[in-house]
Amino acid sequence: MGSNILGTSIVFLIVSIGCVSGQYKNCQAAKDDGQTTNGRYTIDIDETGSLTSFIVYCDFTSSATAVTIMNHDSEARTQITGFDNAGEYIDSIAYEVSMTQIAAVVSDSASCQQHLKYECMHSALGLSDSSPYAWWVDRSGAQQTYWGGATGLDGKCACGVGGTCASDLTTSATLTCNCDANDATWRIDEGYLEDKSVLPVTMLRFGDTGQSAEEGYVTLGPLLCYAGESTTIPPVTATPTPWVQTAAGIVVIIICILIFIGIVIMLNFCLCAPWWRGVCTRYCGCCKCCDACLCCDGPSVGQVQKVKVEPTKKLTKSVSFVNEKKPPPAITYPKQKAPAQEVLVVDAPPPKKSFFIQDKNSTDWEELELLRQKEKKQSNFVADGQAVDPATGRSYAYNSKTGQRKWLDTATAVVAANRLRNAGRQRDATNTVTPTTNSV
């Protein structure tokens, strides 16, 4: 059983810290490895090179070959209005991976494309003009004046390539972009930018939307890169080298092994805690499986032994008083059933004669015995010694820690009566009324 636990622990440790994790050169390599679920994958374009691995979205279903998709923060349809001057509207595109990583993917891919769309009303692009209203900037920072669907043809949109653009209202000449009609009709210029040497788009610039009737909407899609030519049968590629056989994989595996060895050493020589002994006991029958914790043979470091504490048979307390030549005799208490730490509660004997106390502010008569019992319940007095008051000669119990005292003779009745300060009068058992004093 011990070997099974050890093997399970090793596998769990390796998986938990990422020693066995899928990583591919590109999305096509992931597809060749049998991946069929579209999603985000970690790729390493240059493998053992200086470029670090990064995450992209891999599409395995929309094309015969895998498609690498790199998203950005401006993919939503965006309204453009209130920018009259040429290029006054500026939108800098931020991609989820660095431009260096994008350039590596583009270079590694057979082809790349990015969709660009502009919806307009009374807003011209003017790409063919010497000072166009709109343009886009490539990855090297250069201004480009052709639109989607007209790659490499400056001043044109997709409709300008096929001669299907709207006509000029004044000259009836066919324009190079639909939006250049600049009329009250909603028009669209859109298409794919496909020159991989300049992709992706890093900035969009627009103008001619400053008047109340002028308005436009721009939509820029993600960068799509294809691993191979679009054919019905995907090309056969060599099986990629397993990641665990690469230099990076070997280094990570060595680190994992060293970490595991360190944990084993720590558990065997540093820990003898109750939780570890419990693990050993559960799986091995006793914790002798841990050489440093021989808790089957006897207590070890950190092991707690339960010891039964017997109650003390006799409790003796000596009391000393200031200005006395000899301390009063020690009091010996009888054996109690309570624990050794519990002290004996000493109470005064009942009075010889029943008294009745009447508060001057109350007409209720309360028997002194009931008052004494009530006082006893309300008090938490615990005595640990007994002495005699030299001034009055009365015996009393006391607590040496709190300084509390309690009379043990019949004077208890007087003490209890004095607690009702400013008392009115008292009656004895024969119902004879006598004044009440305020002193002991």
- pLDDT tens per residue across span 103-132: 999 999 999 999 999 999 999 999 988 899
Q: Please give the residue that has the higher pLDDT: either 13 or 263.
A: 263
* DSSP conformation letters of 272-337: --HHHHHHHHHHHSSGGGSTT--TTTS--TTPPPP-PPPPPS--EE----TT-SSPPPPEEPPP-S
Structural domain boundaries in the chain: 67-226, 274-307, 316-435
Supply the CATH classification number for the domain 67-226.
Answer: 2.60.120.1000
- pLDDT tens per residue across span 137-189: 999 999 999 999 998 899 999 999 989 999 888 887 889 999 999 999 999 99
What would the mean pLDDT of 240-265 be, rounded to a whole number? 80
* Structure-token match 């210029």, residue found: 189
Report which DSSP code applies to 34.
Answer: T
pLDDT beyond 50 at 363 = no
Strand, coil or helix: 21: coil
- What does pLDDT average to over the chain? 73
Rounded Cα gap, residues 202 and 278, in angstroms = 61
Strand, coil or helix: 399: coil
| Cis before 334 (ω within 30) | no
Note the pLDDT of residue 172.
79
pLDDT beyond 90 at 94 = yes
Among 117, 134, 123, residue whose Cα is nearest residue 186? 123
Max mean pLDDT among 265-269, 289-293, 373-377 falls in 265-269
Among 105, 98, 80, 102, residue whose Cα is nearest residue 90? 80
Q: Model pTM?
A: 0.50
Rounded Cα gap, residues 211 and 4, in angstroms = 77
Note the pLDDT of residue 358.
47
- CA 223 to each of CA 10, 146, 186, 365, 413: distance values in angstroms, whole numbers, following the listed order: 42, 17, 27, 99, 101
Name every residue whose Cβ is closer than 8 Å to that of residue 421 and which is 6 or more positions away in sequence.
438
pLDDT beyond 50 at 360 = no
Percent residues over pLDDT 90 in the chain = 40
Note the pLDDT of residue 327.
54
When pLDDT is cut at 50, 70 and 90, the band that residue 231 belongs to is: very low
Report which DSSP code applies to 200.
Answer: S
Note the pLDDT of residue 3.
46
Rounded Cα gap, residues 417 and 268, in angstroms = 72
pLDDT beyond 70 at 22 = no
- CA 124 to each of CA 32, 81, 144, 211: distance values in angstroms, whole numbers, following the listed order: 47, 13, 16, 12
